[in-house]
Structure 1
């Protein structure tokens, strides 16, 4: 990718010093719109956070003294992206704290706000390459003091994802892991791998795409690429420009909040390897046996547990859907319907589950479903909550036809199977001989299925 140049010597290389007693904590550079308009020069500042003082950033300064960092610990670098207004990212320090809660390690926040705060995006792109040169030199110095490149994890957001890639390429792909959170698309779409983040930039590269139709990249970049909600429009984000700046940044920024949820383990999001998003929605990708007892990969921080299998597969696209707000995770079921209408029926299905003090809802409406006589229709039902023990459920059918008579769906058998781990749960819930009248909710108690090979 980007080779070190003489610019290295013009850049500020921030490195390690011990914090003197009483020394104030350092903070991320806070700029404003004025800085973004007049432009700023590259000035990379590295802030070290540790478990000993997780809320206090220690500025790492260049020094010939032995490093204050505990280089026997692994190190995580968190690298922000384009900052058109110069304000500090709201998610930055919370993410650093969550990493420290998960593991005892050095967390280094890469503050390149002086290079990122610019209304000229193309200038920030150029500055991102200079930032990568700076960071490469820093990591080489770490290595000289005994740090292992295997133990380095770089988490890059937007332009920060490509900075991680540039650094990784300069180090010959020897760092342990790069996580790209919605890698920036403008100026990088369609580029050769050496000009953007690529799976050869680290021993393991995982990427999440949340804004592929605007600020992010559509093409897969890593060993595994996650596409929540198809990778474009994220639930809960504004649909019109009337919502102001949130309309432009919500989808793009959702990648950081999804990753942070994987860090705090509020809930686990299982992703399903699939060729296309439509195939995923049509429940054609629920077989996870290729991953063995672990099942399909869990999205986010812990996906590294699937590293060996993913490296063997080469490149994997995975999909999952989310809720529009925290908790983002959904509960996945396979829902099979066997009908006996004389004529073909079309429509949508809504399912609700009820348990002790719990309820959850799934609406299957990504397309009009086709129901044929004596033909099984297999659906993916993703519920917005968890019901540990299903005591009753309801089903609503709608043909979505405004004019004309109301339709009915005559059902021989409904079958509900939770997808968990490498296979669905062996125990399935069924209902037999059911009449679904259009837009009328039918509630019933499901029973264990008689035939497990439905």
Structure 2
């Protein structure tokens, strides 16, 4: 049986985190939104993780190609070229690899014709209204992305030819990747979001 303190703390989180629905009369029950209980907070920190996806886009193949990180040696067959620069693009809270502004950033790099573009999709771990669990899940997203980064450097890619671009919480993931790398990242570009 749940203690009263536990129930009150969950109720507080639901009320604070969940936006009120339009046209609601303001009573206590209308404030409850049990969508919060669909949030995912990872307890195991193992990579690869099925809820973190990586997608490769290249100038020759500007379409989404999911990378099977268990068979990472197949990257060249997907169009990855060692001679090109690499960019990791990481979305923020309630984003995906296919939503704007991430798609704009991806297309800008592809337009240059000299980048392998890796999109990191951790949307299942960062969906609305689960901000608190998204904060906790950033560590795992950073760890798994760092493993892919390490694979590239171990197979000849130069760190100075790899950039990590992050939007909002994605910027923090780019920074957190360094904790899992033996070589420092050369370039991180971050854009945070401020609410007005």
Q: Which TM-score band (shorter chain)?
A: 0.5 to 0.7
- 1:271-350 equivalences under 5 Å are none
**Does residue 44 of structure 1 match 2:52?**
yes
Could you say which residue in structure 2 is the equivalent of 1:140? 150
Q: Confirm or deny: 8 A CA contact 2:87 2:165 kept in the other structure.
A: yes
Ranges in structure 2 where 5+ consecutive residues have no aligned partner: 1-32, 43-50
* Residue 87 of structure 2, aligned match among 76, 85, 93: 76
Q: Check 1:167–1:95 CA distance in 2 against 1; reply closer, same or farther (3 A cut).
A: same
> How big is the alpha-carbon RMSD for the aligned residues of Structure 1 and Structure 2?
2.7
Could you say which residue in structure 2 is the equivalent of 1:157? 167
Could you say which residue in structure 2 is the equivalent of 1:198? none
* Residue 58 of structure 1, aligned match among 61, 65, 85: 65
* Residue 131 of structure 1, aligned match among 131, 137, 141: 141
2-structure distance, mates of 1:161, 1:37: 26
Higher RCO (C-alpha under 8 Å, 6+ residues apart): 2
Partner SS, residue 78 of structure 1: strand
Q: Check 1:135–1:36 CA distance in 2 against 1; reply closer, same or farther (3 A cut).
A: farther
TM-score of the two chains, using structure 2 as the length reference: 0.68
**Does residue 175 of structure 1 match 2:185?**
yes
The alpha-carbon deviation at position 37 of structure 1 amounts to 5.2
Q: Confirm or deny: 8 A CA contact 2:40 2:133 kept in the other structure.
A: no
1-structure distance, mates of 2:73, 2:182: 28
**Does residue 106 of structure 1 match 2:99?**
no
Ranges in structure 1 where 5+ consecutive residues have no aligned partner: 1-32, 185-210, 215-247, 249-454
Q: Check 1:168–1:94 CA distance in 2 against 1; reply closer, same or farther (3 A cut).
A: same
The alpha-carbon deviation at position 141 of structure 1 amounts to 1.5
Q: Check 1:89–1:36 CA distance in 2 against 1; reply closer, same or farther (3 A cut).
A: farther
Q: Confirm or deny: 8 A CA contact 1:165 1:178 kept in the other structure.
A: yes
The alpha-carbon deviation at position 34 of structure 1 amounts to 9.0
Moved over 4 A (4+): 33-37
Partner SS, residue 166 of structure 1: helix
The alpha-carbon deviation at position 41 of structure 1 amounts to 5.9
Q: Confirm or deny: 8 A CA contact 1:47 1:109 kept in the other structure.
A: yes
Flag the structure with higher strand content. 1
Partner SS, residue 109 of structure 1: strand
Matched pairs, number: 152
TM-score of the two chains, using structure 1 as the length reference: 0.31
* Residue 95 of structure 1, aligned match among 93, 105, 111: 105
Partner SS, residue 110 of structure 1: strand
Partner SS, residue 117 of structure 2: strand
Could you say which residue in structure 2 is the equivalent of 1:13? none
Q: Check 1:107–1:87 CA distance in 2 against 1; reply closer, same or farther (3 A cut).
A: closer
Q: Confirm or deny: 8 A CA contact 2:164 2:174 kept in the other structure.
A: yes
Partner SS, residue 63 of structure 1: helix
- Deviation digits for residues 341-394 of structure 1 (CA, Å, limit 9, x no counterpart): xxxxxxxxxxxxxxxxxxxxxxxxxxxxxxxxxxxxxxxxxxxxxxxxxxxxxx
The alpha-carbon deviation at position 40 of structure 1 amounts to 3.3
Q: Confirm or deny: 8 A CA contact 2:97 2:103 kept in the other structure.
A: no
